[in-house]
Homo-oligomer: A and B are copies of this chain.
Amino acid sequence: MKKNVIDDCDLKYVLDIISDKWSVFVILTLSEKKVVRFNELQKLLKGISQKMLTASLRKLEGNKLVERRVFGEIPPKVEYTLSSIGLSLVPHIKNVVEWAVNNVDEIKSVDHNL
């Protein structure tokens, strides 16, 4: 079932998922590393707090973009991977990334307080 019109609400919903401070970077990191444990992810995403990483992962998991595997071990081990839907989003994000890389120098305003 394919929709023919652009639905603002659908876009809003998706933007709400990926337009926070870290989600895009979580997704990109997962797409590079394939499988990543929580701690490794936190190290790769320099600057993110545990709380926000957890929140970001939970949100992505709740929206089926990310899969979470818990191993019943001591010490705990939890692996995160992109779902197939999550993977299908990656190329589109990478397009924006590429655009960004090619255009930042030109758009970057002198006044960084904008």
Contact = CB atoms under 8 A, between A and B. Distances in A.
Interface of A: 1-3, 5-8, 10-11, 13-15, 17, 19-20, 24-25, 58-59, 62-65, 85, 88-89, 92-93, 95-97, 99-109, 111, 114
A101 to B, nearest CB: 5
Query: Which residue, of A7, A15, A108, has the highest number of chain B Cβ atoms within 10 A?
Result: A15
A85 B101 contact: no
Nearest to A96: B92
Q: How many copies of this chain? A: 2
A105 to B, nearest CB: 8
Given A14-B96, A92-B92, A97-B6, A62 B106 contact: no
Contacts of A3: 101-102
From DSSP, what is the main secondary structure of chain A's interface residues?
A: helix
Contacts of A15: 19, 24, 100
- Most B CB within 10 A of own CB, among A6, A7, A11: A11
Contacts of A25: 8, 11
